[in-house]
Amino acid sequence: MFWNRKKDSHAAATDASGDAQALRAEVEQIRWWHPIDLGGGLVTPGIDVTPARLAEIQMPDNLAGLSVLDIGAWDGFFSFEAERRGARRVLATDSFCWDGGGWGSKKGFELARRALHSRVEDKWIEVLDLSPDTVGVFDVVLFLGVLYHMKHPLLALERVASVTAGHLIMQTQVDMLAVNRPAMAFYPGTELGGDPTNWFAPNPPALKAMLETVGFRTITFLSKSFPDTVSLDTLNTVQPNHVTLHAWK
């Protein structure tokens, strides 16, 4: 029996082209936070500078055999990256962004997971509900851009510590930089960035002390976006400043 291989090849190419166009159309219907490479030259139009943040957080290149929890995953960039780096299990969690409480939703995560043929798991859960009973315990925990959205930051860190077996990678807003002792800024209303979901930011001494209080023994600050010298005048200003750190039990 003979068949027209050229015709079959053309049909397959046409189907693939149609699938790519359909995927692109789906992508365009979603408001993205993360730019995620879906392959075939298609990158989601996220407004965050996530690739630069990936360099800042210094996620281990090789996660083979490790479990990873991504708290506040949103569109899932870091979850999918952990999977790409060999993690044996990745759990993405979120609540506010997936609820549509802000302008985000879970649609981006679900589309990206499907397009990437990913096995990343997902669970809707509040940070304060994290525990070994609700999600388990993970070798590596990502807690990126979440702490300053917490009304109860120390309690949030207690919950995060409870599900961290060894290594926490964290990025957060810091403030009160001219104060040498542990201190924390409170942002009423929309004081920080016009965003009412921003609540608190510790200074680096407070952040270190808080992490030690909840059980982390080694804390290493990796990068920062604030000046080395800060005047007392800055205590009266609200500025976006962030720091990245790794902490180990």
pLDDT, tens digit (0-9, with 9 covering 90-100), for 79-95: 999 999 999 999 999 99
Q: What is the pLDDT of residue 238?
A: 73
Is the full-model pTM beyond 0.85? yes
Look at residue 106 and give its three-state secondary structure: coil
Q: What is the pLDDT of residue 227?
A: 63
Residues 137, 163 contacting (CB under 8 angstroms): yes
Residue 147 DSSP symbol: G
Residue with tokens 């609200």: 238
Instruction: Say what the pLDDT of residue 9 is.
Output: 46
pLDDT of 40 strictly over 60: yes
Q: For 147-170, what is the mean pLDDT? A: 98
Looking at every residue in the chain, the average pLDDT score rounds to: 90
Q: Domain residue spans in the chain? A: 46-248
Does 16 score more than 50 pLDDT?
no
The share of the chain scoring above pLDDT 70, in percent, equals: 88
Distance CA 75, CA 108 (A): 5
Binned at pLDDT 50, 70 and 90, residue 10 comes out as: very low
The answer, yes or no, to whether residue 97 has pLDDT greater than 70, is yes
Give the tokens for residue 230. 């800060």
DSSP-derived secondary structure letter, 235? G
Q: What is the pLDDT of residue 231?
A: 57
pLDDT digits (tens, 9 = 90+) for 123-143: 999 999 999 999 999 999 999
Q: Which CATH architecture has domain 46-248?
A: 3-Layer(aba) Sandwich (3.40)
| Average pLDDT score over residue span 3-20 | 50
C-alpha neighbours within 13 Å on the C-beta side of residue 22: 8
User: How buried is 184 (Cβ within 10 angstroms: 0-12 exposed, 13-18 middle, 19+ buried)?
Assistant: middle
Q: pLDDT tier at 239 (50, 70, 90 boundaries)?
A: confident
pLDDT of residue 173: 95
Taking alpha carbons only, the member of 90, 83, 92 closest to residue 68 is 90
pLDDT at 147 over 50: yes
Per-residue pLDDT, 86: 98
Residues 181-236 pLDDT 10s: 999 999 999 999 899 999 999 999 999 999 999 999 999 999 777 666 555 565 56
Residue 240 scores a pLDDT above 50: yes
